[in-house]
Structure 1
């Protein structure tokens, strides 16, 4: 047997990785807890909002009691002032998966941040970290010349990225120019290179509603429950800090952005609730759009009571 074949065989002998994806409010957490009761597994969160400390109600984070019984990794690992990229997630998740497998347990990845799943399964491109000085220089140049001129500049050395990035999207436009100025390689060139990814058997499941209206009803119910659970006071506490502002990724999270606006008297309570529910529905729509193009995906229906057995059956066949 060749070295490559031996390595492949060793990877397949490892416990499988279960990926449980789906839109917000579809019941992923409850199904993950049922799997934890049925299998020797470790739950690893795949959620860009749950990483933030002090953001519990608006993210629908499992309660302290639930976390005590069903430990989740990659929850409460960042302060809201900090960022957490897909690259950060992959590094943390691959480490957690390796530790879980070394114990003979099954890593169970659960969440709705599709970019994290995609990066982990396919491998993430080796893009450089943000460079504050280069970004400042680009912003100054954009003020002088305009973003349309910056877009034309991008098109001169990376026409593929320029075709994909709209001139009215300064954040992505600046990032593409920054990458080129820092590395000498275009964003297109670097995204074609894939780094480390999860190995071995990976079972991918997505839980989704049969009818979109059912998910919409769940989203509205859950948002109103958050309001009753004192979501407002949670954001009041965040807003009282002098190091948080509305442009941070944490505060831009769905629900938090709308409540922050309400606390700044930009909208009344009813309008905040309406906007929050609409934004959550839009998030769910984007998540489902991602999933429809996903490869090797097993679909589960939100209303089906047999979802647990379907996953257990798939695991038993490996």
Structure 2
């Protein structure tokens, strides 16, 4: 376990101002910012995933941003392995780690541990994905119901990603993913060793920020990023292909919908995601204080000096 005496964990909905807060805190503490956003790990998607700009990265050390190719299906387990080394390096340098992002599962495994599911052989994963593309999700869900009825009952019948994942696990290991989830590893960063907050924003203000940020993304070259990604003809089930805005803008580039419809759809998806983030944290991370963004910097610095 890394020798981290004190860490700061900043979660919150997309477009809530988490990255700016982390940067202000890094300026004040001389801290290192560590990414906990599952989309901001991907290279070539700085604009569409709202990664920190090059200028912001020059102000403070940033880790685990833009280092994964879009053709890779980056997992929570991979992030946890990488963040273990990153926290070790930060501790050795005597700096404060500031972990920031909107991917709740990353924070959950960081502070609570992770299920010990073995790596899935590539041939099984590819087979399941081929069948999903060819036969549809209903066929896989029927098979999962027969092999792992407990997990199937917990999933929505059209949840393509989770159904495929659960089926991969049971086919590869002969055990339910629910069984594996009962055998977790120890937490890398126990909650008592960190200052943790979930930043909040009044709903209308958050919606305005989401709309303004997407407009700024479009002006900054988001469409060109998505055009380059689409030209690679990658598997549409890959995580990078599902980043907010990517599916809608690809449909526009294919001539299926006008640009204004693609933008409106992207914004609506982002708004729905922000609502899910809030709901997930409220249900899954009950001990995380919810702090208005305008008070967050003072709350964190106060907690660090207590």
2:167 is the counterpart of 1:180: no
Query: Which residue of the partner structure matches residue 72 of structure 1?
Result: 62
CA distance, structure 1, for counterparts of residue 119 and residue 182 of structure 2 = 17
1:56-92, CA deviations, whole angstroms, 9 ceiling, x for partnerless residues?
1111111111111122100111111112110011111
Structure 1: runs of 5+ lacking an equivalent: 1-6
Query: Which residue of the partner structure matches residue 289 of structure 2?
Result: 298
TM alignment of 1:186-205, pairs within 5 A: 186-200=176-190, 201-205=193-197
2:89 is the counterpart of 1:99: yes
State the aligned residue count: 303
Relative to the length of structure 2, the TM-score reads 0.90
Over 3 Å counting, the alpha-carbon distance change for 1:25 and 1:174 in structure 2 is closer
CA distance, structure 2, for counterparts of residue 179 and residue 252 of structure 1 = 22
Compare 218-227 and 286-295 and name the one that shifted more. Answer: 286-295
TM alignment of 1:136-151, pairs within 5 A: 151=141
CA distance, structure 2, for counterparts of residue 22 and residue 252 of structure 1 = 20
Over 3 Å counting, the alpha-carbon distance change for 1:273 and 1:98 in structure 2 is same
CA distance, structure 2, for counterparts of residue 219 and residue 140 of structure 1 = 35
Structure 2: runs of 5+ lacking an equivalent: none
- The 3-state SS of whatever aligns with 1:166 is coil
Q: CA RMSD in A?
A: 2.5
Q: 1:309 aligns with which of 287, 298, 301?
A: 298
Question: Is the 1:239–1:245 contact (alpha carbons within 8 Å) kept by the matching residues of 2?
Answer: no
Compare 162-171 and 73-82 and name the one that shifted more. Answer: 162-171
Compare CA radii of gyration and give the structure with the larger one: 1
Query: Which residue of the partner structure matches residue 253 of structure 2?
Result: 263
Q: Give 1:217 shift.
A: 0.6
Question: Is the 1:206–1:300 contact (alpha carbons within 8 Å) kept by the matching residues of 2?
Answer: yes
- The 3-state SS of whatever aligns with 2:33 is strand
Compare 158-167 and 184-193 and name the one that shifted more. Answer: 158-167
TM alignment of 1:237-248, pairs within 5 A: 237-240=228-231, 242-244=232-234, 246-248=236-238
2:213 is the counterpart of 1:222: yes
